Structure 1
Amino acid sequence: MTTWIDVINFVRTRYEVLEESDGWLRFRLNGPSERTQQATVHHLPELDGGSWIEISSPVGWADSIDLRKLLELAGGSAVGGAAVVDGVALLKHTVPLEDLSIQEEFERPLKTVVARADAFEHELTAADEF
């Protein structure tokens, strides 16, 4: 059985952690052409009877990008959906924690969400703020 501590340890050993609390981690991943991208992993305990992990990555400030275009871009992705939290447009993906394969069911969607968010940020803002 995979635990939240397993996810935390996995992230800590592979990525630069920027900020951390009991229920979430914010960290940075390297991308193409010297771009970087932030990601956040939240522990969502006891949602529908079990714990879940939410992976998110920022695309840009919601009031500075074309949100309709973001929704169209996100709609073409098999992983992640668009949301706005605290004024930041995000790509988000949620996976169940119980019996989680960290390599296939966490790291693979994490890298996909981060790569898509970075590509969307580049397309919608021409910047690398996040």
Structure 2
Amino acid sequence: MTTWIDVINFVRTRYEVLEESEDWLRFRLEGPRDRTQQVTVHHLAELDGGSWLEISSPVGWADKVDLRRFLELAGGSAVGGAAVVDGVALLKHTVPLEDLSIQVEFERPLKAVVARADAFEHELTGTDEF
């Protein structure tokens, strides 16, 4: 059985952790062309009877992004859904924690969400703010 502590340890050994609390980690991944992308993983306990991980990566400030285009881009992606939280447009994906294969069911969607969020940020804002 995979635990939140297992996920924390996995992230700490592979990525630059920028900030963390009891229920979430924010860290940075390297991308192409000297770009970086922030990502946050939240531990969502006991939703629908089990624990879940929410992976989210920012695309830009919601008031500076063409939100319709963002929704179109997100709608064409197999991983992630569009959201706005605290004024930030995010690409988000949720996976169940129990019996999670960290390499396949966490790291693959993590990298997919981050790559797409970075590509969306580049297309929609032309910047690398996040």
Bin of the TM-score, shorter chain as denominator length: over 0.9
- The whole-number CA distance in structure 1 between the counterparts of 2:37 and 2:54 is 16
Residue 14 (str. 1) matches residue 14 (str. 2): yes
Residue 39 (str. 1) matches residue 39 (str. 2): yes
Q: CA deviation at 1:35?
A: 0.1
- The whole-number CA distance in structure 1 between the counterparts of 2:41 and 2:111 is 12
Q: Which runs of 5+ in 1 are unaligned?
A: none
Equivalent residue, structure 2, for 1:111: 111
- The whole-number CA distance in structure 1 between the counterparts of 2:54 and 2:11 is 14
- The whole-number CA distance in structure 1 between the counterparts of 2:25 and 2:113 is 16
Residue 128 (str. 1) matches residue 125 (str. 2): no
TM-score (norm 1): 1.00
- The whole-number CA distance in structure 2 between the counterparts of 1:108 and 1:81 is 16
Q: Which runs of 5+ in 2 are unaligned?
A: none
- The whole-number CA distance in structure 1 between the counterparts of 2:10 and 2:88 is 26
Identity of aligned residues (%): 88
Residue identity in the other structure for 1:46: E
Aligned residues: 130
Q: What SS does the aligned partner of 1:129 have?
A: coil
- The whole-number CA distance in structure 2 between the counterparts of 1:88 and 1:97 is 25
- 1:1-130 matches, within 5 Å, as 1-130=1-130
- The whole-number CA distance in structure 1 between the counterparts of 2:20 and 2:7 is 13
Q: CA deviation at 1:11?
A: 0.3
- The whole-number CA distance in structure 2 between the counterparts of 1:5 and 1:28 is 19
Residue identity in the other structure for 2:116: R
- The whole-number CA distance in structure 1 between the counterparts of 2:9 and 2:41 is 12
TM-score (norm 2): 1.00
Q: CA deviation at 1:85?
A: 0.4
Residue identity in the other structure for 1:11: V
- The whole-number CA distance in structure 2 between the counterparts of 1:72 and 1:59 is 13
Post-superposition CA distance 1:76-117 (Å, at most 9, x none): 000000000000000000000000000000000000000000
